[in-house]
Amino acid sequence: MSLRRPRGPKNETPSGSHRIRLRHRAQVTSIVDFRAPATSPEEAARSVADAYRVALAKASPVISLPNGESVLLEPQEITFLELALVAVDEAGEESNPISILAPAGTDLVLA
């Protein structure tokens, strides 16, 4: 005897609720300045780029140069590019996109 309640259509539960996945895509702009000791601007830029790669690998917003200078990389501007809403079935698979209108006064592109 099964104790599971019967399910409705793929993304509908008996209570009438639906699983919806919201996916947004945004562009983030951050600007920080460093004073990197080096013999050329290119060498200084490589040092900053290497420190940035290390911060990314650690999932850290702090970029630290070999000379000990550290800067917190914080978003200064976030531009939302796209918002998608998709019905999700019981297996967690996206079943169909849902089109809606963007809220008035926003720059969102709803896919």
For 19-75, the pLDDT digits (tens) are: 888 888 889 999 999 999 999 999 999 999 999 999 999 999 999 999 999 999 999
Task: Give yes or no: residues 26 and 39 share one domain.
Answer: no
**CA 32 to chain CA mean position, Å:** 20
Task: Give yes or no: residues 13 and 38 share one domain.
Answer: no
* Sign (positive or negative) of CA dihedral 42, 45, 47, 52: negative
Q: Name the band, by pLDDT with cuts 50, 70 and 90, for residue 13.
A: low
Strands 20-29, 62-64: pairing is unpaired
Tell me the residue range of the domain where 111 lies: 1-30+75-111
Task: Give yes or no: residues 65 and 97 share one domain.
Answer: no
According to the model, what pLDDT value does residue 2 have? 36
Task: Give yes or no: residues 12 and 40 share one domain.
Answer: no
Q: Name the band, by pLDDT with cuts 50, 70 and 90, for residue 110.
A: low
Token pair, residue 11, equals 């993304």
Q: SS3 helix, strand, coil % of the chain, rounded to 5?
A: 15, 30, 50
Task: Give yes or no: residues 26 and 37 share one domain.
Answer: no
Give the C-alpha separation, 79 to 27, whole Å: 5
Token pair, residue 89, equals 């079935």
Task: Give yes or no: residues 41 and 24 share one domain.
Answer: no
Helix (H) / strand (E) element for 108: namely: none
Task: Give yes or no: residues 43 and 20 share one domain.
Answer: no
Count: domains in the chain? 2
Task: Give yes or no: residues 19 and 3 share one domain.
Answer: yes
